[in-house]
Amino acid sequence: MRRPLCSRMLAALALVVPAVLVGAPAAQADPISQTSGFYVNPYSSPASWAAANPADGRASTIRAAIAQKPMASWFGNWSGDISRAVGNYVGAADTVDKLPLLVAYNIPGRDACGGHSGGGAGSVAAYDQWITSFAATIGSRPAVVVLEPDALGDFSCMSQSQINERLGMLSRAIGQFRSKAPNTWTYLDAGNPGWVDATTMAQRLNSAGVSGARGFALNVSNYFPTGENVTFGNRLGNELRRYGYTKPFVVDTSRNGNGANGQWCNPAGRRIGTPTQMGGGAEMLLWLKTPGESDGNCGVGGGSSAGQFLPEVAYKMVYGY
């Protein structure tokens, strides 16, 4: 996923699917001020691997440099009962007064262009039900949610009817979080600086109802340097002004320490980036993709499946080789 391709939608798209919300609604409650820091999941894939392999020479490095950092947990059709999965994760964070990071990744036709992470909910109705349960389960507990990586970048591999359906699902999803999760900041994925130009992506964000979200997310599962993302994010924010509002953004810095090399699927020589924090040129810099988890059967992850934890890849990513 997260291909650095250049694809452009016709300007007429904004007329085909208008934004559901006009202008910027009132902000939701601040989840940052309600917690004492970001949640570190003791059962993340690198943490679980290090715990299961204490004699491995790579374990202590992976534990200290990756597993003990706050990272997002991803939820999709592999999660089983979504209410239980989200409830357990958010509940664990709430118990220790920490802010959980979650990624919702279950849109029908997921990863349409890349294909390595294909799947998603079986229908529009199934997705609507799934994301409603996701939001309702978080409820009043504080959280940060990134919605549907790839969803607005994949249009070149979709029909117009599929695009229209997707925009509707994303808009409804944003509405569910606003109504059912009042202490959650939701960010809609907006690709990366090498995928879709800012004018086109702003049009897609608006059509997907980003006016009702906290903001948008950049670089999810990709490698572009933070500075490039900040420049692109500011440009996107300015482009949104033509629709009567602007939005803050977050950047995935989990694997961008050495920048990008033109490849998106398990490229060699990448490095972990700035750990999760507030600020840094964006509203937040977040580890959204888990370092060491494969992008698919490609690159240095040949023979693996998307999401599979690869300890050697994780270890080399700590040092950038």
Catalytic-residue membership of 150: yes
User: Measured between alpha carbons, how far is 100 from 169 in angstroms, rounded to an integer?
Assistant: 24
Q: What is the pLDDT of residue 256?
A: 98
Mean pLDDT of 78-95: 98
Write down the domain spans for the chain. Answer: 25-319
pLDDT of 5 over the 80 cut: no
**Considering the chain, what percentage of its residues have pLDDT values greater than 70?**
91
User: pLDDT digit string (tens) for 255-288?
Assistant: 999 999 999 999 999 999 999 999 999 999 999 9
Nearest partner of 173 among 206, 229, 119, 212, judged by Cα: 212
**pLDDT-derived band of residue 140, with 50, 70 and 90 as boundaries?**
very high
Active site residue: 150, 154, 189, 252, which one? 150
CATH of 25-319, one of 3.20.20.40, 3.40.50.1820, 3.30.465.10, 3.40.50.720: 3.20.20.40
92, two tokens = 């664990």
Q: φ, ψ for residue 301 (rounded to 5)?
A: -105, 20
CB-CB neighbours of 321 under 10 Å:
11
What is the band of 112 on the pLDDT scale with cuts at 50, 70, 90?
confident
Q: Using CA of residue 239, residue 243, residue 244, residue 245, what is the dihedral sign?
A: negative
